[in-house]
Amino acid sequence: MSKGEIIGIDVGGTFTDLVMIDHQGRVRLAKSPTTPENQAYGVLAALEQGAVKLTQADLIVHGTTTTTNAVLERKLCKTGLITTFGFRDVLELGRRTRPQAYGMKGNFRPIIPRDLRLEVIERMDAQGQVVTPLDEAAVVVSAKQLLALECEAVVIHFLHSYANPAHEALAAKIVRDIWPNAFVVAGHELLAESREYERGVTAAVSASVQPLLERYIASLRHELASAGFGGEMLVMNGNGGMVSASEVSKEAAKTVMSGPASGVIAAAATGKASGIVNLITYDMGGTSTDVALIRDATPTVSSEIEVEYALPIHVPMVDVRTVGAGGGSIARVNAAGLLEVGPESAGADPGPICYGRGGQEPTISDANLLLGRFETANMQSISGQATRERVELVFQEKLGNKLGLSAVEAAAAVVRIANAKMAGAIRMVSISLGADPRDFALFAFGGAGPLHASALAKELGTPTVLVPARPGLANALGCVLADLRHDYVRTLNRPFDHLEAAELHSIFMDQIAAGEEMLDRESVDIQERRRVYSVDMQYVGQSHILRVSLDTDQPEMGEVLKRFRAVYKERFRIELEGIQAKIVNVNTSVIGVRPPLDLSKLIDPAGRMTALADAQNGQRRVFFDGVWLQAPIYWRDKLPLNFEITGPAIVEQMDTTVLLEPGDVAKGDALGNMIIRVGVL
Amino acid sequence: MSLDPITLTVIQAGLQQVCDEMDLAFSRAAFSPVIAEADDRSDGIYSAEDGSLIAQGAKGLPVFVGVMQYSTRVLIERIRDGETAPPEPGDVYIVNDPYLGGTHLMDVRFVRPVYRDGEIFCWLSNTGHWPDTGGSVPGGFSAHATSVEQEGLRLPPVKLFKRGTMDQEIFQIISSNIRVADQRIGDIKAQAAALDLGEARLAALLDRYGDDTVKAAIAELRQRAATQMRALIQEIPEGEYNSVAYVDSDGVVNEPLKICLKVTRAADFLTFDFGGSSPPCQGPMNSVLATTLSSVYLAVRHLFPEAPISAGAFEPLRVIRPEGTFLDASYPRPVSGCAAEVSQRIAEAVFAALVEAIPHRATAAPAGTSGNFALGGFDPLTGKGYVMYQLTGGGYGGSADGDGLANGCSTIGISKAQPVEILEQNYPILFRRYALHEGSGGAGKFRGGFGLDYEVELRRGEARASFVMDHGRYGPQGALGGQDGETNKVTVWRSGEAYMPPHLSKDQDIKMEPGDRVHVRTPGGGGYGDPAKRDRAAVAEDVRLGRYSSEAAGRLFNYRQSD
């Protein structure tokens, strides 16, 4: 049982991050470049850099982008499909719109190509009644054909298998008898929800990344074992929980969005420990910005996430929305003479001009540099250097001259417009989730997040910003903080008057049993077991669903209805008493709660100064609202625990810069977080 | 008042945000799947003086680009002329009259004044596609209608909400004249709540920046949008560009309707002249002026997606009023096909005219039909009547950037198709096939995308099938040497015998018994460029994947197995 060291390792796009907490609560951190060809090397390098003694480690929790990258780059294993006669093209036709509302162009690549999509005769109807029996011999023929075509994995996806999985289960059994490995996925096993495209894509994604994930985890475990690791390894899932490495690849689709999820888990845990339980997380990196909502210390989870255009993965995942580009967003003056920021991005390569990798277009990061808001010197992610003069020249030529502004004024305009746009996007996310941003605190992390957080908070009317101790390591921290978690969704799709309480109760019981069994199989130290129940409901005739939390697995039907009407009214300010309601999905999460960890040592207490002045490291000019002001620069790790700083000021640390605007007041809390009360707009 | 460009951009983003939030609120709370799932709705801000468009939600249905400015303008004029009662704070007008700046009857607009210091500062308006507004067939798309009365209930602008309270009498008139009325109250509340929200958000914006500043910004933004559009138009070399596009028939008289278009780029204006197009038709394939104008705007925005949606951006686009043609129909011409079908053909005429001038921007013609298929009947199992309403996509045209998308949604929409499993849950039907329409993509250097091939069987009870589709006679046009996409094909199998509608893609009340099937193959997109110049490996790949037979590939692309 893990009473000793816990190691969280997250593989991100650029860096592999490590957070280790030993049995005395001491913390060690490391950051090492990600090795895309085999992420295991980067992991080993981070372990080495952190001087981790693997023989003493009890638990490694790992976040990996192996499956994410495979899907986005379509570097998938050769996977076949066996499906209902007449429906092999569902995965290609989709429920198509087009990639952009305007512009009749764009393309879509199905997860499984047409020649590997085979049909067998069988048909179930929507009530789960057999219309046409399964042609079992055809299943054998199809499986052999797919093997001959060198498929490594196979998906069995039949219409209405959520209503009656008999055909799909039988076909899966037949295929498993022939198939040389375990990479056989039946659609209903992953997701018992109606909508053939969504269920089919979820299964296809899962099957086609499963072999990759399994091989990766096996090779990593082998490498770790060779280095003396004898403990347990867990892997982060997109639902913000973790599962044991031996189980994870069976439902590989769940790992596709795990990276962003673990950052949100860290935010929820950090906020809870600090007594701030309602948060909007704001993770701004070089290439993208992610936003998520945390209510009552619980991240919002959705089962309707689209990983990219027309690629839905309908398993419960932390609802992280990408709201636009990051520091690399390019600014330009359009034909109307107006300044635009984004949507084009300089990305990570060449990146902003100030990265010195050949970037020629003015970006948000470059604007921050010109305004004195950050210096490239401290940034680990920046390799080369371009002179400030070079950046200034580009801003003058490409922006300032066209706007009648100096380069610095143009840079200020870029930041102002970028903030207004990002605030708008964050607002849209929060209201689409039924939340008013004024009721939340902004949790800023990622490399560029803390630089813009104060301004965004003002735009949003959010009074408080929380900058955690280690904004650049949130994902790795999420790994060590996450609970074990298993989610179950069952589609009912039944009006209230066609539903007995007993049926609802028995679904909850089945889901609980399945989750408890999974927890029993994972030999990880947990403090308690928790269950979360909810139903997704709507009024008959609607298509959007609303989640209604329940506090028991044996709810009374009248109470369920009452809750739904209350939630609906709160969300839409509309009462619809006369209209019948319906339960669409029944959901249970079974959670193994891990013992809490002490976060106060994320910043080494020994390095903290007793006086604020001793943490200061000079000052520099920063451009605020039309004037240059002198801002003191503090080194985050040296700040006294209970510091109080009034803006303007800059707080620098290993992987980010926090900007305090005039009027802001930042205080330290006992856990090393920085809580900023933002000044008025 | 002179404003710096930065404040302008920030206010522009703020106005846009108000509209986007209205769009979101409307969709999320709506009942009608056409609004909630298919986003067949739009919200915007319109000027106090003449209703011209200030800002519109980015996720609004494309066919509504600019269209509400016409209905708002008509409302303002009617109030001025004493034909409509003057507004008071909290009032919401309802209107769906096609001839008063509208589209078809199913698109119901709400219009609400925004007051500042006792004066109207601007108007907010939204449109939602109601699943039914009465009329001879459920859903409103009657292929055989010869007057607007057969298409549904027509509402002139009247106050549905008076000082914030719904007028129960007007509501009862409406609900007594439409099908599935019990759910409409949910849509009405959602539609009105979106405007409520918009007013609150707009007030916050005005409080922050000041009414005068925002007013000045709106005027300045309008000018600058015009400047931007003029700059974009410069990409089109000066000259005249002609095209012709056809609607199969009007559903009543089985003859094609012709759209003639001459686009002229002179100085910084684009002029659209539809002179020579067919006269108004008897059936429902007429367009009203507002829809014709917005179809031109939406086509231009497909070509220049970076252009803003505002009255200023439309200024350099001059559409000569197509009087005497079916693109400018007046009462009582039936118009249900205007927003769903004719608008798409207008867009194709614009693409076809300009593809030689701006070959990197324009595409060959997309499938261009909404694929409207309605099935109404009685299910003995549930003991209830039902109306199923299916919209489908088709192939997009090839372009300089590559092959067309397969099964894209209509040019004027941005909606997801309904899942087969959901349709089968709700109606007594069974799909036998839902597949790629093989061979349908028009041949070209970059071929058109493929349409959809579906076959659906009635399981129980009696039902009647109706269709309002198009491109059954003429496939979507190829461009720059590319060939046309395959046509739309409808076959109804009754007691084992094939029935082809005389109008090919339009018919109504086709009686069906259990076991009968409807088989639809939607159009493929037009091809772009000479098919012989298509990359041989790409042709071989299409053959390998069964998208074209090798015989068809030989014929269309001059393909040999040895290639």
Q: Which one is predicted more confidently, A437 or A25?
A: A437
Q: How confident is the model at residue A680 (pLDDT cuts 50, 70, 90)?
A: confident
**Amino acid letter, residue B439:** G
Q: How far is B79 from chain A (nearest CA, A)?
A: 30
* Residue A254 pLDDT greater than 80, yes or no: yes
Say how far residue A638 (Cα) sits from the centre of its chain.
31
Please compute the mean of the pLDDT values over residues A31-40 and round it to a whole number. 86
Dist CA B161 CA B73 (whole Å)? 20
**Coil, strand or helix: which one is A99?**
coil
Tokens, residue B371: 């694929």
| Residues in contact with A605: Cβ distance below 8 Å, sequence separation at least 6, in sequence order | A641
> Which of the residues A118, A188, A542 would you substitute to probe the B interface, choosing the one with the greatest number of B C-beta atoms within 10 Å?
A542
* Residue B190 pLDDT greater than 70, yes or no: yes
Which chain A residue is nearest to residue B192, measuring alpha carbons? A574
What residues are paired with A675 via a beta bridge? Answer: A466, A667
What residues are paired with A587 via a beta bridge? Answer: A489, A534
Asked if the Cβ–Cβ distance from A335 to B21 is below 8 Å, we say no
* Residue A2 pLDDT greater than 70, yes or no: no
Q: Find, among B28, B90, B39, B82, the residue nearest to B62 by Cα.
A: B39
Q: Tens of pLDDT along B19-63?
A: 999 998 898 888 777 787 778 899 999 999 999 999 999 888 888
Dist CA B53 CA B314 (whole Å)? 9
| Residues in contact with A73: Cβ distance below 8 Å, sequence separation at least 6, in sequence order | none
Q: Tens of pLDDT along B381-404?
A: 989 888 888 889 999 999 999 999
Cβ-contact B68, B300 below 8 angstroms: no
B121–A contact, CB cutoff 8 A: no
**Alpha-helical regions (H) of B30-146:** 33-36, 68-80
* Cα-only R_g, chain A: 26
Asked if the Cβ–Cβ distance from B411 to A417 is below 8 Å, we say no
Dist CA B64 CA B41 (whole Å)? 8
**Coil, strand or helix: which one is A103?**
coil
Which pLDDT belongs to residue A68?
A: 86
Q: How far is A489 from chain B (nearest CA, A)?
A: 17
* Residue B562 pLDDT greater than 80, yes or no: no
Contacts of A576 in chain B (CB under 8 A): 185-186, 189
Q: Tens of pLDDT along B322-350?
A: 999 999 999 999 999 998 899 999 999 99
**Coil, strand or helix: which one is B273?**
strand
> Who among A339, A421, A579 is closest to B183 (CB)?
A579
Q: How confident is the model at residue A639 (pLDDT cuts 50, 70, 90)?
A: very high
Q: Where are the domains of chain B?
A: 5-225, 363-563
Asked if the Cβ–Cβ distance from B399 to A493 is below 8 Å, we say no
| Residues in contact with B563: Cβ distance below 8 Å, sequence separation at least 6, in sequence order | B536, B539, B540
**Coil, strand or helix: which one is B243?**
strand
Backbone phi and psi for residue B212, each to the nearest 5 degrees, phi listed first? -65, -40
Please compute the mean of the pLDDT values over residues B94-117 and round it to a whole number. 96
B556–A contact, CB cutoff 8 A: no
> Which of the residues A105, A408, A546 would you substitute to probe the B interface, choosing the one with the greatest number of B C-beta atoms within 10 Å?
A105
What residues are paired with B272 via a beta bridge? Answer: B263, B319
What residues are paired with A591 via a beta bridge? Answer: A485, A530
Contacts of A192 in chain B (CB under 8 A): none
**Amino acid letter, residue B197:** L
Query: CA torsion A297→A301→A307→A313, rounded to 10°?
Result: 150
Say how far residue A308 (Cα) sits from the centre of its chain.
13
Q: What are the percentages of helix, strand and coil residues in chain B, rounded to 5?
A: 30, 25, 45
> Who among B402, B416, B425 is closest to A126 (CB)?
B425
Dist CA B468 CA B470 (whole Å)? 7
Q: Tens of pLDDT along A37-49?
A: 888 999 999 999 9
Q: Tens of pLDDT along A351-384?
A: 889 888 888 999 999 999 999 998 876 555 455 5
Consecutive H or E run containing B286:
none
Dist CA B127 CA B77 (whole Å)? 19
Which pLDDT belongs to residue A378?
A: 55
**Alpha-helical regions (H) of B210-306:** 211-233, 289-303
Restricting to B residues 239-258, those with a Cβ less than 8 Å away from any Cβ of A are none
Which chain B residue is nearest to residue A106, measuring alpha carbons? B405
Angle formed at CA B45 by CA B60 and CA B269, multiple of 5 degrees:
80
Which pLDDT belongs to residue A194?
A: 84
Tokens, residue A104: 């009749």
Please compute the mean of the pLDDT values over residues A96-124 and round it to a whole number. 93
**Amino acid letter, residue A139:** V
Place of tokens 């590939």: B553
Dist CA B446 CA B441 (whole Å)? 10
* Cα-only R_g, chain B: 24
Angle formed at CA B460 by CA B455 and CA B462, multiple of 5 degrees:
90
Q: DSSP readout, A379-424?
A: -TT--S---HHHHHHHHIIIIIHHHT--HHHHHHHHHHHHHHHHHH
Is omega for the bond preceding B531 within 30 degrees of 0, making it cis?
A: no
Restricting to B residues 513-552, those with a Cβ less than 8 Å away from any Cβ of A are 544-547
Query: CA torsion B521→B527→B530→B531, rounded to 10°?
Result: -40
Q: Tens of pLDDT along B436-483?
A: 999 999 999 999 999 999 999 999 999 999 999 999 999 999 999 999
Q: Find, among A413, A437, A451, A388, the residue nearest to A649 by Cα.
A: A451
Three-state secondary structure of B480-516: CCCCCCCCCEEEEEECCEEECCCCCCEEEEEEECCCC
> Which of the residues A85, A92, A102 would you substitute to probe the B interface, choosing the one with the greatest number of B C-beta atoms within 10 Å?
A102
For residue B267, count other CB atoms closer than 10 A to its CB: 9
Q: How confident is the model at residue A494 (pLDDT cuts 50, 70, 90)?
A: confident
Q: CA-CA distances (angstroms) from residue B227 to A495, A525, B318, B556? A: 55, 66, 15, 44
Which chain A residue is nearest to residue B205, measuring alpha carbons? A459
Which chain A residue is nearest to residue B452, measuring alpha carbons? A93
**Coil, strand or helix: which one is A252?**
helix
Q: What is the pTM of this model?
A: 0.90
Contacts of B418 in chain A (CB under 8 A): 95
Asked if the Cβ–Cβ distance from B228 to A334 is below 8 Å, we say yes
Place of tokens 């011409």: B333
Q: CA-CA distances (angstroms) from residue B286 to B65, B68, B233, B340? A: 19, 19, 29, 11
What residues are paired with B387 via a beta bridge? Answer: B376
Asked if the Cβ–Cβ distance from A101 to B306 is below 8 Å, we say no
| Residues in contact with B89: Cβ distance below 8 Å, sequence separation at least 6, in sequence order | B113, B115, B163
**Coil, strand or helix: which one is B540?**
helix
Cβ-contact B117, B130 below 8 angstroms: no
The interface predicted TM-score of the complex, written ipTM, equals: 0.93
Query: CA torsion A681→B6→B10→B12, rounded to 10°?
Result: 160
> Which of the residues B229, B392, B399, B405 would you substitute to probe the A interface, choosing the one with the greatest number of A C-beta atoms within 10 Å?
B405
Contacts of A572 in chain B (CB under 8 A): 25, 28-29, 190, 193
> Who among A100, A126, A428 is closest to B305 (CB)?
A100
Dist CA A665 CA A453 (whole Å)? 13
Residue ranges with strand state E in A49-115: 57-63, 79-84
Asked if the Cβ–Cβ distance from A105 to B396 is below 8 Å, we say yes
Backbone phi and psi for residue B134, each to the nearest 5 degrees, phi listed first? 85, -160
Q: CA-CA distances (angstroms) from residue B22 to A411, B44, B192? A: 32, 8, 10
Q: Tens of pLDDT along A501-518?
A: 999 999 999 999 999 998
> Who among B399, B421, B436 is closest to A89 (CB)?
B436
Asked if the Cβ–Cβ distance from A96 to B407 is below 8 Å, we say yes
Q: How far is A338 from chain B (nearest CA, A)?
A: 6
* Residue B501 pLDDT greater than 50, yes or no: yes
Q: How confident is the model at residue B270 (pLDDT cuts 50, 70, 90)?
A: very high
> Who among A101, A123, A198 is closest to B59 (CB)?
A101
Cβ-contact A462, A566 below 8 angstroms: no
